[in-house]
Structure 1
Amino acid sequence: MDELAEAAGITVRTLRFYRERKLLPPPRREGRIAWYDEHHLARLRTITALLDRGHTLNAIAELTDAFEAGRDVGEVLGLPGAPTEETPVRLTPEELADYFEGEVTPENLQAALDLGYIGTDGEEIVHISRRLLDVSATLVREGVPLAEVLSAGRQVRQHADAMAELFLRILRTHAPDTDVEKLRPLAKAVVEAELSLAMDRRLGQS
């Protein structure tokens, strides 16, 4: 414990306090010896970084609970080998806080976990899509609350699922021998064109 506290730049008393608050997972024990590893050190550095960014210990505890209750990276990204055009992004909790400064609340974190946008892999956070991450961060910087971004994402997900099912049903019915991956760009082109036209119509009405 002394060695861990020194490496993390905190006092042993503070370390014990974090353990009592269950902010730190228990050590591995061999008899009467307690062993801490790099994961404990990473967790302590994360706590320090989040405190420096203005998060309270209560908020950090809630964030930790949300992460530990969330799905791991395998569940978020789907079955191994599943085709995808999206690029996952690995982040530390501090980097996630920097993306959405002031918006990384337990409620928003849980919503992102529920949507499958993020998962955990050890001490890292994995966002399922670089494009979604960048768009979400841009909207937040423009003044849209992250809670609204996530709510919109949930609605878009429903429509996107319906459109994907429509395309797959058409292909399976009328072109069962066609490689679906080859026609994926066609489906995307139709959706992008229709969305562009829909935006034109809505803007023309305003």
Structure 2
Amino acid sequence: MTNQRANGRVDGPAGEPTGAGADGRAGGPADGRSHGAAHEPTGTSAAHADAADAADDGREYRMEELAEAAGITARTLRFYRERGLIPPPRREGRIAWYGHHHLARLRTIAALLERGHTLNGIADLAAAFESGRDVGEVLGLGEPTEEEPVRLTPEELADHFGDQVTPENFAAALELGYLATDGEEIVHVSRRLLEVSAALVGEGVPLSSVLAAAARVREHADALASLFADLLHTHAVADADLVRLRPLAKSVVEAEVSMALDRRLRALKQ
């Protein structure tokens, strides 16, 4: 996904502004301007708007109502729908009904546009998002884990990694199992890994390189896990012992990696 701006804005159909707000959200009510720029709530008004959004989770909108809520025109909304940027509406006869998840997606689009992403890039990212694996599949729900999953909106993911949230990197993170999708949210499998990845990107390491390195680390980690699992399974009396002895195997790996890093860093200084 490229990070380009065209005179400070990204145009929708026939050069029409897409309606991103001042801080990247298109969440305020329409302000009556013909091109549909968002009216940005501030202060207590923003809090009231968020409270209203929470109360309206079950509300459904006709096309014109959704466009007004998102601060865009019906024409722009139709353009987004034709481009596949939002999911299809629920149909009741000839009437199309949109829900709060459509409004959330429109606000996400506005936020990504404000950060400089193009509509083509957002469309590619939406396609990768829709093809993401289920949270339960990635996290292995029901299995023990020390890692804390983190729920993120697409905007929050962009806050961590900026314009490096490309369709290619998103797909790589899905394949690696770092990310999963849950409705309109993204779930990162580990808060620790999220923070470390963001820190490396902040130090100038490309996210694509971080993910490539993570894939190699995964191979070695799986090999080490297999070694210790076989060792413990061979000598443990019962399954309960496997859980009890697991921290010992983890400590051995952590100590060995720590000493290996020390050796490598000393070698680099010579």
Q: Which of the five TM-score ranges fits, normalised by the shorter chain?
A: over 0.9
Corresponding residue SS for 1:96: helix
1:107 is matched with 168
Select 2:146's aligned residue among 65, 78, 85. Answer: 85
The RMSD of aligned alpha carbons is 0.9
Can you give the 5+ residue segments of structure 2 that lack an aligned partner in the other structure? Answer: 1-62
Select 2:227's aligned residue among 166, 174, 179. Answer: 166
- Per-residue CA deviation, residues 119-149 of structure 1 (Å, 9 max, x unaligned), is 1000000000000000000000011000000
2:236 is matched with 175
Aligned length in residues:
205
Select 1:135's aligned residue among 181, 184, 196. Answer: 196
The reply on whether 1:157 has 2:212 as its aligned counterpart is no
1:30 is matched with 92
* Mapped contact 2:236–2:242 kept (Cα < 8 A): no
1:41 is matched with 103
- Per-residue CA deviation, residues 35-55 of structure 1 (Å, 9 max, x unaligned), is 100011111010000000000
Can you give the 5+ residue segments of structure 1 that lack an aligned partner in the other structure? Answer: none
* Mapped contact 2:81–2:88 kept (Cα < 8 A): yes
2:78 is matched with 16
The reply on whether 1:204 has 2:266 as its aligned counterpart is yes
Provide the C-alpha distance between the structure 1 equivalents of 2:88 and 2:236, rounded to a whole number of angstroms.
56
Provide the C-alpha distance between the structure 1 equivalents of 2:93 and 2:75, rounded to a whole number of angstroms.
23
Q: Which structure would you say has the larger Rg? A: 2
Select 1:121's aligned residue among 157, 177, 182. Answer: 182
Deviating 4+ runs (over 6 angstroms): none
Given the two structures, how large is their TM-score scaled by the length of structure 2? 0.74
Provide the C-alpha distance between the structure 2 equivalents of 1:65 and 1:198, rounded to a whole number of angstroms.
41
Corresponding residue SS for 1:179: helix
In the alignment, residue 123 of structure 1 is paired with which amino acid? E
Superposed displacement of residue 176, structure 1: 3.3
Aligned-residue sequence identity (percent) comes to 73
